[in-house]
Structure 1
């Protein structure tokens, strides 16, 4: 009798284990299905990770992309191809670019479209050491400008110098490439073009006194959007849901960075530990106030800003064919 009971108990136990295993398998199935449904997305940066990109890392780290069903990989550009080329060709779904680059691309038929302005106003400046005594474009005369060697730089220098009433051929252009500003300024060049939110903040942190001439103060056309979040026309026409979900999460990431600059800096540092922690924290504190600034929402773009800068480029021969400003950007995918 006891043996019979033991056999019965063992049989019931086996049935319970079998039932439990089936139940767990059924419970796991939806989660596995959910993982399978995650859409793989690639975002290519314009340069090494910095505070221009914090909102992207926040959106990934805090699960905002995952909430929208996206498995996002953030990558840096490699050698040989630019971010614009790869995004336009669909090799990367989204990228970080600049208004001047998108304008040039669209002028030649490359189908890039801007989805959001990362920073609402141009924060770049001509920077020089205090002792160089360069405080206006008139002071560029007889000085060395160190830059990347692009026609855009020469056009800007010529425009702002002629507007100031001095000849642009009186400045010496020195091609430095992607050199470190702090190694070259005052040695290889007298003034250079920097982003204040990074090199300007670092100079202040080092106690280095700079004279700064903000580009947006020299000409209204130079207050353009830089950087931008971009994609290609095919994504906009054929994958609107993907673009909308990505931008909803991205906007949430930048909004959180605006409201929580200290924590946002920590998230960027976690993803890019090679960066200087003090620089990142100071830069983030400064830039978080300027992501949205006077716009009704983060990322908002205006047609007049696009048209004004495109006209400026066209008038100076930087693009052979002017662009339709309305087609170069969209606010459609920004959350309300």
Structure 2
């Protein structure tokens, strides 16, 4: 009799355990289902411009905000087009791209500056002796075919009485900087935080001519995070949650670049780990820089750059800069 009672109690205990496990699994499943599915499209292959996004995903910051964020590559369509059409909720973009898009009536909006100041430069191998815009004369420039490139070159060269018509402009597409130099190109436009740091690691001396040394109007936001006007109108709380999580991600990258680099390396194993770590150290103080908080954008920066584009006949009309960006979703 006691044995039967013991067996009955044991069966009841096992059944209760089974029910608890089933309930826990059901609860977990419900929690997963409750997460809002979001798509984030990158502008390019993953690099340290994107670290805060991967940190937010892999440290669970998105999940804490109730979001399930999928990070995808842009493909042939491009990030701006995917975001503007609603095929992606958020994207990585650039001030110049958003400016051009809005002039054409495309409803895309910048919601945070990833890096506070423009860190791009025209770079060349040191033995080319290109150290200033006047040295561009008689040289070949490798670009991607945008009219903005020639205008920037012209603007900088005019300050030194040099002529942009003396530059051979070659469309090299997405050819790597170092490969382009081996193919006879003399200089190209780079982001120092990636290609410049790579040059240091390769012990390959390069010269850099920074855009911001020649015009404050060229100190624009690149890259930025974007969304579309429909999202802002219909899902402002989703945007606020997204930006809150991303802000935490970039704050960790600022405060602990080594940990942030490890997260990116684990998320994207194909990346050069040494380059990621060195680039992360270089970029960490530049994400926020002199801004009161990460992601902050200034109206004057948007106006300065759009006015420069308009003055150089690169815009068909003047930009309504106040509608091109917003700080309203940044954490206080």
Give the Cα–Cα distance (whole angstroms) in 1 for the partners of residues 268 and 235 of structure 2. Answer: 30
Give the Cα–Cα distance (whole angstroms) in 1 for the partners of residues 29 and 94 of structure 2. Answer: 39
1:146 CA displacement: 1.0
Structure 2: runs of 5 or more not aligned = none
- SS where residue 141 of structure 2 aligns? strand
1:274 equivalent in structure 2: 270
2:331 equivalent in structure 1: 335
* C-alpha distance after superposition, 1:96-140 (max 9, x if no partner): 010000000001000110011100000000011122111111111
Give the Cα–Cα distance (whole angstroms) in 1 for the partners of residues 27 and 39 of structure 2. Answer: 25
1:33 CA displacement: 2.1
Give the Cα–Cα distance (whole angstroms) in 1 for the partners of residues 24 and 145 of structure 2. Answer: 60
- Give yes or no for contact 1:129–1:186 (8 Å, CA) kept in 2: no
- SS where residue 52 of structure 1 aligns? helix
Q: What root-mean-square deviation, in Å, do the aligned CA atoms of Structure 1 and Structure 2 show?
A: 1.5
Q: 2:315 aligns with which of 288, 300, 319?
A: 319
Q: 2:252 aligns with which of 234, 256, 262?
A: 256
1:92 equivalent in structure 2: 88
Q: Is 1:37 matched with 2:34?
A: yes
Q: Look at both structures and tell me which one has the larger radius of gyration over its CA atoms.
A: 1
* C-alpha distance after superposition, 1:66-115 (max 9, x if no partner): 11111111111112x11100001110111101000000000100011001
Q: Is 1:123 matched with 2:123?
A: no
Q: Is 1:57 matched with 2:75?
A: no
1:35 CA displacement: 1.5
Q: How does 1:17-32 map to 2 (within 5 A)?
A: 17-32=14-29
Task: Say if 1:138 and 1:186 are closer, same or farther in 2 by CA, change over 3 A.
Answer: farther
Structure 1: runs of 5 or more not aligned = none
Q: TM-score, normalised by structure 2?
A: 0.96
* C-alpha distance after superposition, 1:216-248 (max 9, x if no partner): 111111000000010101111110111000000
- SS where residue 297 of structure 1 aligns? coil
Give the Cα–Cα distance (whole angstroms) in 1 for the partners of residues 96 and 324 of structure 2. Answer: 11
1:334 CA displacement: 0.8
Moved over 6 A (4+): none
Give the Cα–Cα distance (whole angstroms) in 2 for the partners of residues 159 and 258 of structure 1. Answer: 34
| Number of equivalences | 332
Give the Cα–Cα distance (whole angstroms) in 2 for the partners of residues 179 and 13 of structure 1. Answer: 69
